[in-house]
A and B are shown apart, each in its own frame.
Chain A
Amino acid sequence: MIEFHLDSRSGVAPYLQLIQQVRQALRLGLLREGDQLPTVKDVSGSLAINPNTVLKAYRELEYQGLASARPGVGTFVTATMSSDSIAAHNELSHDLEGWVSKARAAGLDDESIGAIFQRTIRTAVQEEVR
């Protein structure tokens, strides 16, 4: 079972943080199809957050086709985020490590590296939208 945490300084809405953590756990293989997510009561009790925030996150996960609620039982993971992408992870992070050392060698600091990375993702997203 997954355990949630909240970063209150991130500026990301709590329900989005919960969704991101489930997606992340799926991507890393920590959550698999059929696994139960913690109950709304447990999550709101342990994080001291509003139960509706948890419900909102779980509903959104259902909408994304990643989870489904069985009334009276709980919410369960219904999909695995493509396993080939997990296999590709190692290779991709290896590539990225190479790129980061190249950037460091060119004299870029962490902030500039982060900025390039963010900008590239944003540009790519915009091009996909077009």
Chain B
Amino acid sequence: MTAAIEASGLGKKYRRLWALSDCTLSIPVGRVVGLVGPNGAGKTTLLNLATGMLTPTSGRIRVLGGAPGSGPDQLARVGYVAQDAPIYSGLSVADHLRLGAHLNPRWDADLASRRISQLGLVLKQKAGTLSGGQRAQLALTLAIAKRPELLILDEPIASLDPLARREFLQVLMESTAESGVSVVMSSHLVADLERISEYLVVLVDSRVQVAGAIDELLASHQLLTGPRRDPATMPPNQHVITASHTDRQSTILVRCDEPIADPSWTVDQIDLEDLVLAYMGQARTNRLDLSDRAGTKILEEKR
């Protein structure tokens, strides 16, 4: 089966700064995929590479088996709602639908007008006077009505109130159930992503820290607490993600596919939010280590 997004060694450099580096990913089709990471981690860059708005500096990316943005066919297969759901504020809701119909070969006019009336949007209203939630819904309607195979959503709900957010996700999930469209959505709201997605990608410091089916990620990560222990002495099949220690106790998050046999550990499951935070924290620790080392090196050179 072709992947929704397949990347290998993908990188993007702006001047001297890598916004995304060495990104290798395979996101299966027919899934709803959550993309999380702190601001500036490279989420938007990755999504822009997938839509063809950016071209890679290194490596390659295939979307639904084709090169992103390579032609009208490829463009018709991918729906994209950019950050903060941009719309044309001077145009009316009806104008947006007309625009959608003219620009998209697979446009589903019935679906679009049905959605608009369900949402209670007034056709004559100028988009600039819509509420944030309505604007996001309009942008989503346009993206859904173009009947894409892959829907890419870049933080569409970050600025919405909880009710508008829930309504947005309801519409998104209903359309997913209806059409089986693949979805990749970036968001900071892990709880929302946990409801809607089956697959998660954590991006920190321009690198993919972890990616996988949420069920499997939750099942394979265990939080161990027990007598103080050096994480370096952990068995090789227990991959240490984070470790913290007090005088007598160690708390270690490991990724391990087998049950933990060592009776000195108390084993707990963690939730998705903690898992995401652990990988973000791990990336930060690594960065501090690196800058530490760089700092030491400079000192040594000065001597």
> How many chain A residues touch B (Cβ–Cβ < 8 Å)?
17
Given contacts A40-B177, A41-B177, A54-B177, could you give 8 more A-B pairs where the C-beta distance is less than 8 Å?
A41-B174, A41-B178, A44-B176, A44-B177, A45-B171, A49-B173, A49-B195, A51-B176
Q: Cβ of B171: which chain A residues have Cβ within 8 Å of it?
A: 45
**In the bound complex, do residue B195 and residue A14 qualify as a contact, i.e. CB atoms below 8 Å apart?**
yes
**In the bound complex, do residue A50 and residue B271 qualify as a contact, i.e. CB atoms below 8 Å apart?**
no
Q: How far is the CB of A47 from chain B (nearest CB, A)?
A: 8
| A28-66 near B? 1/0 per residue, CB < 8 Å | 000000000000110011111111111000000000000
Q: Which single residue of chain B is at the shortest CB-CB distance from A51?
A: B177
**In the bound complex, do residue B271 and residue A48 qualify as a contact, i.e. CB atoms below 8 Å apart?**
no
> How many chain B residues touch A (Cβ–Cβ < 8 Å)?
18
Q: How far is the CB of B35 from chain A (nearest CB, A)?
A: 15
Tell me if B191 is interfacial: C-beta within 8 Å of chain A: yes
**In the bound complex, do residue B170 and residue A50 qualify as a contact, i.e. CB atoms below 8 Å apart?**
no
Q: Which 8 interchain pairs have the tightest Cβ spacing?
A: A45-B174, A48-B169, A51-B177, A41-B177, A44-B173, A48-B170, A44-B177, A49-B195
Tell me if A71 is interfacial: C-beta within 8 Å of chain B: no
Q: How far is the CB of A9 from chain B (nearest CB, A)?
A: 10
A8-B191, A51-B176, A51-B177 given; A45·B198 CB < 8 A:
no
Q: Which single residue of chain A is at the shortest CB-CB distance from B31?
A: A52
Q: Cβ of A52: which chain B residues have Cβ within 8 Å of it?
A: 198
Q: How far is the CB of B34 from chain A (nearest CB, A)?
A: 10
**In the bound complex, do residue A50 and residue B174 qualify as a contact, i.e. CB atoms below 8 Å apart?**
no
**Secondary structure of the B contact surface, majority rule:** helix
**In the bound complex, do residue A8 and residue B195 qualify as a contact, i.e. CB atoms below 8 Å apart?**
yes
**In the bound complex, do residue B198 and residue A11 qualify as a contact, i.e. CB atoms below 8 Å apart?**
no
Q: Which of A6, A11, A50 has the most CB of B within 10 A?
A: A50
**In the bound complex, do residue A45 and residue B195 qualify as a contact, i.e. CB atoms below 8 Å apart?**
no
| B146-183 near A? 1/0 per residue, CB < 8 Å | 00000000000000000000100111111011100000
Q: How far is the CB of A54 from chain B (nearest CB, A)?
A: 8
Tell me if B196 is interfacial: C-beta within 8 Å of chain A: yes
Partner of B32 from A40, A41, A50 at Cβ < 8 Å: A50
Q: How far is the CA of A46 from the CA of B169 in the complex (A)?
A: 9
Q: Which of A45, A47, A52, A53 has the most CB of B within 10 A?
A: A45
A11-B271, A45-B173 given; A50·B195 CB < 8 A:
yes
